[in-house]
Amino acid sequence: MPYFCQFCNKKLATLFSLRRHTASFHDPKFTGFKCTLCCKSFTTRSYLRRHSIKCGAKIQRGGNLPLGDKQIDPKLADFPNTDVNIRKVYKDNWGAIRTYFKCRQIVDIFNFRLVNQKEDLKNTLTDLWVNKLSSQVKLQASVGLILQHRVTHQYRFYHSSSNNTNLFQSPVTVRSLGDLMEIVDLILEMDLGTKSMNVRPDSSWSFHSVTNISFSLTKTNFPKYGAPPKSIPSHLRRLKSVRTLLTNGSRRYNDNLCFFRALALKQNCTCSHRCFCLSRIKSVVLSLFDTYMKSIDGNSSPHTFTGVMLDDLVLMEEIFDLKITVYKSTGPLKAKIIRQSYKKSGNELNLCAFHNHFMLIQSISDFTKCFQCPLCSATFRTKSSSLRHKLSCAKQRTKYSYGKDNFFPPPSIFEEIESFTHIQIPEDLKFYPFRATFDIECYLPKSKAKDTAKLSFESDHVLMSISICSNIPGFESPFCMVSGGDPDELVSKFVTYLEILSETAYSICLQKLQPLMDQLEQCKQQQISVENDFKSRNWSNPITYSNRSIQSIIEKLKSHFMELPVISFNGQKYDLNVMRAPLIRHLMNQDKIQYTIK
Sign of CA dihedral 276, 279, 282, 288: positive
Residue 354 exposure: Cα atoms within 13 Å on the Cβ side = 24
CA distances from residue 122 to 70, 185, 484 in whole angstroms, order as listed: 15, 9, 79
3-state secondary structure of 136: coil
How far is residue 223's CA from residue 232's CA, in Å, rounded to a whole number?
13
How far is residue 82's CA from residue 113's CA, in Å, rounded to a whole number?
18
Tell me which residue of 215, 167, 174 sits closest to 191, measured CA to CA: 167
Cα Rg of the chain (Å, integer)? 36
For the chain, which residues score pLDDT lower than 50?
57-78, 80, 540-547, 598
How far is residue 496's CA from residue 587's CA, in Å, rounded to a whole number?
10
3-state secondary structure of 250: coil
Query: Measured in whole angstroms, how far is the alpha carbon of residue 394 from the centre of its chain?
Result: 31
Tell me which residue of 64, 62, 15, 71 sits closest to 44, measured CA to CA: 64
Of the chain, the end-to-end C-alpha distance in Å amounts to: 84
How far is residue 584's CA from residue 598's CA, in Å, rounded to a whole number?
7
Domains and CATH numbers, the chain: 3-67 (3.30.160), 76-219 (no CATH), 234-391 (3.90.70), 414-448+457-536+543-588 (no CATH)
DSSP symbol at 241: T
Cβ pair 36, 46 in contact under 8 A: no
Which residues share a beta bridge with 242?
A: 361
How far is residue 211's CA from residue 542's CA, in Å, rounded to a whole number?
60
Instruction: Tell me which amino acid residue 311 is.
Output: D
Cβ pair 444, 459 in contact under 8 A: yes
Predicted pLDDT of residue 67: 31
Tell me the residue ranges of DSSP E strands in 175-332: 205-219, 242-243, 247-248, 251-252, 322-331
Predicted pLDDT of residue 396: 57
Predicted pLDDT of residue 351: 92
Cβ pair 417, 425 in contact under 8 A: yes
Cβ pair 220, 356 in contact under 8 A: no
3-state secondary structure of 446: strand
Cβ pair 135, 223 in contact under 8 A: yes
Query: Measured in whole angstroms, how far is the alpha carbon of residue 407 from the centre of its chain?
Result: 8
Cβ pair 395, 276 in contact under 8 A: no
Predicted pLDDT of residue 544: 44
Instruction: Tell me which amino acid residue 258 is.
Output: C
Predicted pLDDT of residue 311: 76
Report which secondary-structure segment, H or E, holds 360: strand 357-361
Predicted pLDDT of residue 77: 46
How far is residue 113's CA from residue 115's CA, in Å, rounded to a whole number?
7
What confidence tens digit (pLDDT) does each residue in 503-534 have?
999 999 989 888 888 888 888 887 777 777 76
Residue 137: CB atoms within 10 Å: 25
Beta-carbon contacts of 30 under 8 Å, excluding residues fewer than 6 positions away, are 23, 24
| One-character DSSP codes across 519-565 | HHHHHHHHHHHHHHHHHHTT-SS--SS-HHHHHHHHHHHHHHHH---
Cβ pair 266, 361 in contact under 8 A: no
Please tell me the pTM assigned to this model: 0.41
Residue 264: CB atoms within 10 Å: 24
**Backbone φ, ψ for residue 464 (5° rounding):** -115, -40
Tell me which residue of 156, 299, 158, 303 sits closest to 226, measured CA to CA: 303
Query: Measured in whole angstroms, how far is the alpha carbon of residue 37 from the centre of its chain?
Result: 29
- H helices of 394-475, where? 413-421
How far is residue 141's CA from residue 109's CA, in Å, rounded to a whole number?
10
